[in-house]
Amino acid sequence: MPKDACYHSVKARYEKFPSARASQAIAKCRKKSGNTRRTSEGESLKRWAAEKWEEKSGEPCGTTGSYCRPTRRVSSETPRTRSQLSSSQEARAESAKKSGRRAPTYSKKK
């Protein structure tokens, strides 16, 4: 993004620049002024958060290192939920995860 008024005002206020806190301040200033970017990566991240991914035990994804699936479908881009997978697909994915391999994704249902 170009060096705008928010960039210059934050740079003048912060002793250590660039820093994580300064970047947060720039983002806050730009959001306040309505100057935000909408990227596909940001939209994907928002979709992922809304899907609420969980492990089989119901714990949030990444808690125990088990195989994770989304709990709800948000859009057509959402991968299959645990209830949409067959028992053999789920078993295959869990065994791959336990053996240290990447689990198959089982993308969206066609």
In a domain, 91, yes or no: yes
Range of the domain at 83: 40-98
pLDDT tens per residue, range 39-73: 887 788 788 889 998 988 888 887 777 788 899 99
Residue 103: inside a domain: no
- Number of structural domains (the chain) is 1
Identity of residue 9: S
pLDDT per position as a tens digit, 21-40: 888 898 889 889 887 777 88
65 in a structural domain: yes
User: What is the pTM (predicted TM-score) of this model?
Assistant: 0.56
Write the secondary structure of 27-86 as one string of H (helix), E (strand) and C (coil).
HHHHHHHCCCCCCHHHHHHHHHHHHCEEECCCCECCCCCCCEEECCCCCCCCCCCHHHCC
- N-to-C CA span, the chain: 38
